[in-house]
Copies of this chain bind each other. A is one copy, B any other.
Amino acid sequence: MEMVSHEKVGLMSGGFVWVKGLFAKLVEVASKTRALGKDDPRRVIHSLKLGLTLTIVSMLYYYKPLFANFGVSAMWAVMTVVVVFEFSVGATLGKGLNRAFATLFAGALGAGAHHLAALSGHVGQPIITSIFVFLLACILTFMRFFPSIKAKYDYGMMIGILTFSFVSISGVGDDEILLLLQKRVSTIFLGVCVCVVISISISPFWAGQDLHNRIALNIEKLALFFQGYGSVEYFKTLQDREAKDDKSIQAYKSILKSSGIEDTLYNFARWEPGHGCFQFRHPWKQYLKIGALTYQCAFRIDALHRNLSSSSFQVSQEIQTQIQEPCMEMSMETGKALRQLVSSIREMTQPTLAEIHTNNSKAAAKKLKASLKSSRLWENCDLLTLIPAANVGTLLVDVVDITEKIAEAVQELASLAHFKAAKPAEAAIQSEKEKVEPNIGVSFVTIPIGSG
């Protein structure tokens, strides 16, 4: 009796554990789902948009008058929606146009091949057709390896092979083939049109806008690093610095992890029509250039950060007092220059004020070099404690160079994309403030940043 009841209890508690585990799993999935949606609410909107588009197209299927002469081919429209509807407008347009035109051209080619093969009689037809299919499949598959084709027409190549085989193999007469082709092309065009219209009309996600924002955000992350280091004393110990908001300082790390995304966005943005502040032939390629420079800057910043936060980093008081000021100044000014570039990109105005800050940081760099050269610094101090500090100095000088290159690239973007001039009023206020505020360092020019 007892054993049986024991078993029962064991079974029940086992079941209870199982239910508990399932419940915990469900809660975990729910919280992950929530986090995913919260992280980027556009994901939820995209899912709803796709559901809506699919429903609309499948409703059309039920609405007989429209599809009466399409018949089963109407399914192609549904398929097209599922395959073509992508997150951004550019991706949807690219895939849609690829699908539509590849179907059109390869379909016509397939009809031609079918006609040619039919001429060779009942026995020869399969052989000739197979040779055609083999050749076209080989050529198009190999073409997909070309980087330039892969970037823009990869999907088109695949659909090309598909449609060509589909049409040329189909064992029906020439007239029927043309009808089949006509149905397929028109339903696919219909599907693509619905996708593009919904993608653009309901809360559109532009890859170009994304690329633009992303580049600005990445430069801002660099600025955060410099301003974070510029505002506190430079050679604080690790503990002191960790107390400060270290997260914003380390934001640059995300730049290093996601360098491929810009290329993808660029490939999508090229398909997009003019939208918002962007014209049709917006110089998207320039963003890649800025992105690459930003990556390089983050790369060096990482070395700088590793140096500053390494446990063996100790700097004597003497050195600190000597090189702290120019280091802080360089950091601060570079941060300000980068912030100017960010607001210039965000508001699409000419980055006129960034140059002042770049010049300031260059002046500070000169000062730092002079400090390092002066014999006062390295008298009576351990070389091993000097090296890390000097190291930080040289890395900073290096970073100032790259910031200048970024500023040049943004300037180039501004002239290529015809950014409007910065408001003269703001610039005036700016230069006014410069006169009033006293300079702190020798070559330290303070330029408070307006919203320009």
Contacts and interface: CB of A to CB of B under 8 A. Distances in A.
A388 B386 CA distance: 12
Contacts of A78: 162, 165-166, 169
Contact of A82 (B83, B162, B388): B162
A161 B82 contact: yes
Given A82-B158, A391-B387, A146 B36 contact: yes
A373 to B, nearest CB: 5
Given A43-B145, A82-B165, A130-B55, A378 B372 contact: no
A83 B158 contact: yes
A327 to B, nearest CB: 15
A48 interface: yes
A79 B142 contact: no
Give 3 nearest A-B pairs by CB, closest first: A51-B138, A47-B142, A51-B137
A390 interface: yes
Contacts of A133: 51, 54-55, 58
A226 interface: no
A375 B142 CA distance: 64
B54 A161 contact: yes
A141 interface: yes
A50 B126 CA distance: 18
Q: DSSP class of A's interface residues: helix, strand, loop or mixed?
A: helix
Nearest to A43: B145
Contacts of A54: 133-134, 137, 161, 165
A377 interface: yes
A299 interface: yes
A129 B387 contact: no
Contact of A141 (B37, B47, B55, B300): B47
Interface string A343-374: 00000000000000000000000000100110
A370 to B, nearest CB: 10
Interface in A40-71: 43-44, 46-48, 50-52, 54-55, 58-59, 61-62
Contacts of A46: 141
5 contacts: A58-B130, A58-B133, A259-B259, A260-B260, A373-B383
